[in-house]
């Protein structure tokens, strides 16, 4: 469920509290998430050093120190909570990062909570981040690439796959998950099941604008995440953005008042207006 905007908001919140602070300890409460946790490599990369920078690439939160990098993917249900007590843990807390006290803050912990354990945690050496296997094959950032519309059009050439599945392929562009794919296609008036290669350059230009608008609006709406993030409930403000089609099957389209349809496309539930999207 965390898509790019949620990861961006959480990363900013974590950066604002943790950048510059020393990682005093890493506490692991189990040895695997999706995959085994590379505990030794993580300790080597992070332990006893200040966090120089915490930033996002795709849906990965990246912790940079002089000794290397830690990479965290939140999967479906992952979240980081800032807490003063290591022992006061929510169910499904799998590891914690111990942050040294500063002049302004006591010793604190970032608790990683992830009921479904679809998250991933990895590490690499200084200078190795761009070539890390999690990142090496990823497409561009939708909010950073110069001409997203042209990029999508060129990448779509000859593809018969549904345009919605194409958008969700992180090799093409990162950060567009199931929710924002439906929302962006609705805004652009493009039917999600159309073959990607049949969508015109002008349509991709409009779609690119819609993707960027949707992501930006969601980031803005998630700007209050930090308050929740600090609290114990663990709900990091998903759906703070008003969703127009996603999850709204049976409701009326805001533009033409037709009933919103739900259909499985490439194995994912997809929502659209059969009149407004062609």
Q: Which residues are catalytic?
A: 2-3, 59, 268
Assess 198 for contact with DNA (CB under 7 A).
Answer: no
Nearer to DNA, 23 or 78 (CB): 78
**Which positions from 28 to 47 touch DNA by CB under 7 A, shown as an x/- string?**
------x-------------
Residue number with CB closer to DNA (179 or 185):
179
Q: To the nearest whole angstrom, how small is the minimum distance from the Cβ of residue 188 to DNA? A: 19
- Beta bridge pairs of residue 95: 28, 112
Nearer to DNA, 235 or 256 (CB): 235
Q: Cα-Cα-Cα-Cα dihedral of 31, 34, 35, 37, to 10°?
A: -40
Q: Does 261 bind DNA (CB under 7 A)?
A: no
Site for DNA in 142-181 (CB under 7 A): 159-162, 165-166, 168, 170, 177-179
* Longest Cα–Cα distance in the chain: 59
**What CA–CA distances, in Å, run from 274 to 185, 254, 258, 270?**
12, 13, 8, 12
Of 49, 77, 98, 263, the one binding DNA (CB under 7 A) is 77
Shortest distance in whole angstroms from residue 63 CB to DNA: 17
- Pick between residue 92 and residue 187 the one whose CB is nearest to DNA: 92
Among 84, 147, 258, 269, binds DNA (CB under 7 A): 269
Give the nearest distance from C-beta 115 to DNA in angstroms.
4
Minimum distance of DNA from residue 125's CB (angstroms): 19
- Smaller CB distance to DNA: residue 17 or 240? 240
Confirm or reject binding of residue 263 to DNA (CB under 7 A): no
Q: 246-272: buried (b, 16+ CB within 10 Å) or exposed (e) per residue?
A: bebeeeebeeeeeebbbeebeebebbb
Subset of 91-130 contacting DNA (CB under 7 A): 91-92, 115-118
196 forms part of the interface with DNA (CB under 7 A):
yes
> Is 239 a binder of DNA (CB under 7 A)?
no
The answer for residues whose C-beta is within 8 angstroms of residue 273's C-beta and 6 or more apart is: 186, 245, 253, 255, 256, 258, 260, 261
Are 183 and 214 in contact by the 8 Å Cβ rule? The answer is yes
* Residues of this chain that bind DNA (CB under 7 A): 1, 3, 34, 58-59, 73, 75-77, 91-92, 115-118, 134, 159-162, 165-166, 168, 170, 177-179, 196-197, 266-269
């Amino acid at each position: 469920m965390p898509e790019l905007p949620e990861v961006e908001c959480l990363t900013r919140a974590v950066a604002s509290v943790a950048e510059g602070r020393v990682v005093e300890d890493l506490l692991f409460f189990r040895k695997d998430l999706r995959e085994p946790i590379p505990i030794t490599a993580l300790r080597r990369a992070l332990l006893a050093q200040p966090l120089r920078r915490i930033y996002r690439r795709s849906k990965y939160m990246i912790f940079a120190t002089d000794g290397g990098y830690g990479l965290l993917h939140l999967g479906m249900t992952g979240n980081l909570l800032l807490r003063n007590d290591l022992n006061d843990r929510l169910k499904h807390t799998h590891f914690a990062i111990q942050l040294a006290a500063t002049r302004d803050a006591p010793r604190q912990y970032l608790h990683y909570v992830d009921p479904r354990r679809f998250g991933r945690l990895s590490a690499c050496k200084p200078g190795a981040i761009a070539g890390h296997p999690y990142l090496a094959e990823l497409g561009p950032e939708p909010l950073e690439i110069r001409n997203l519309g042209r990029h999508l059009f060129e990448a779509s050439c000859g593809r018969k796959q549904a345009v919605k599945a194409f958008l969700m392929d992180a090799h093409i562009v990162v950060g567009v998950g199931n929710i924002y794919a439906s929302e962006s296609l609705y805004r652009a008036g493009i039917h999600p099941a159309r073959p990607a290669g049949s969508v015109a350059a002008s349509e991709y230009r409009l779609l690119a604008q819609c993707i960027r608008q949707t992501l930006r609006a969601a980031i803005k709406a998630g700007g209050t995440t930090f308050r929740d993030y600090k609290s114990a409930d663990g709900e990091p403000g998903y759906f703070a953005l008003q969703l127009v089609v996603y999850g709204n099957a049976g409701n009326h389209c805001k533009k033409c008042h037709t009933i919103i349809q739900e259909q499985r496309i490439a194995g994912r539930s997809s929502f659209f207006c059969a009149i407004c999207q062609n």
